[in-house]
Amino acid sequence: MLEEQVKAALNDVRPSLQADGGDVEFVSFKEDDGTVSVKLTGACGGCPMAQMTLKRGIEDFLREKIPQVKTVVGV
């Protein structure tokens, strides 16, 4: 159930990334420690600001929407 919530929330973030030529792919969610793994693709994959997008954009958004999310990591 939480995994589906995470995927739905990522779909809410996706248009912002796509507007800049990038995207995000869900990889996994570990409920035991609240870690979401994602892959940034397109322009986001090689962008020097990718880490900031991951932490200050995606992670902050997911943590606000789903309190069980503790961190987001890129793979």
Q: Which domain holds residue 13?
A: 2-74
- Tokens 């997911």 sit on residue: 62
Q: How far apart are CA 21 and CA 58, in angstroms?
A: 16
Dump pLDDT digits (tens) for 15-74. Answer: 999 998 999 999 999 999 999 999 999 998 888 889 999 999 999 999 999 999 999 999
Amino acid 9: pLDDT: 97
Contact 7, 44 (CB under 8 A): no
How far is 30 from 39, CA to CA, in rounded Å? 15
| Distant-in-sequence, close-in-space partners of 56: CB < 8 Å, separation ≥ 6 | none
Written as one letter, the residue type at 50 is A
Q: How many domains does the chain have?
A: 1
pLDDT-derived band at 10, boundaries 50, 70, 90: very high
Report the CATH number at residue 9: 3.30.300.130
Give the mean model confidence (pLDDT) for residues 4-18. Answer: 96
Q: Give 26-41 pLDDT, tens digit per residue.
A: 999 999 999 999 999 9
